[in-house]
Amino acid sequence: MSAESLHDGAWDWIVIDRLEFDTIIGIYPHEREQVQPLRVDIRLGVAPIFETAQSDDISTTVDYQRVCETVIALAQSGQFNLVETLAQRCADALFAAFPIQAIQLSVSKPLALPYTRGVGVEIFRRRPVVEFEPQ
């Protein structure tokens, strides 16, 4: 029995803490006129990393630089009013681009309200299971 079969259904986590960049996001006119900082924390549930740990080869895991580039490009498109929408679209894009099984993602606007450290949303999603029915 392989080490992987012993852990079927288990995940390891790739963690990206405090991805920070500037973008246009918000519903108010002043938020649409100039960039503001955005903070994104990402946890990616992946298959156990046994193979990656043995091979020491990036092709056997998720490249977190590409994950960051994907999130930044999506956010900096400027098309989102709500952090809720951005969070869901990031999850959708990451599922489409990478072999991940789950995502925990938070998006925060640190300067949105002066009396807070930030406001935002946190989501958890599992990869959608597509069931095929015989015809």
Which residues does the annotation mark as catalytic? 109
3-state secondary structure of 78: coil
CA distance linking residue 116 with residue 4, whole number of Å: 44
3-state secondary structure of 28: coil
One DSSP character per residue, 80-118 reads: -S-HHHHHHHHHHHHHHHS--SEEEEEEEETTSSTTSS-
Structure-derived torsion over alpha carbons of residues 47, 51, 57, 59, reported in degrees to the nearest 10: -40
Q: How far apart are the first and last CA of the chain?
A: 35
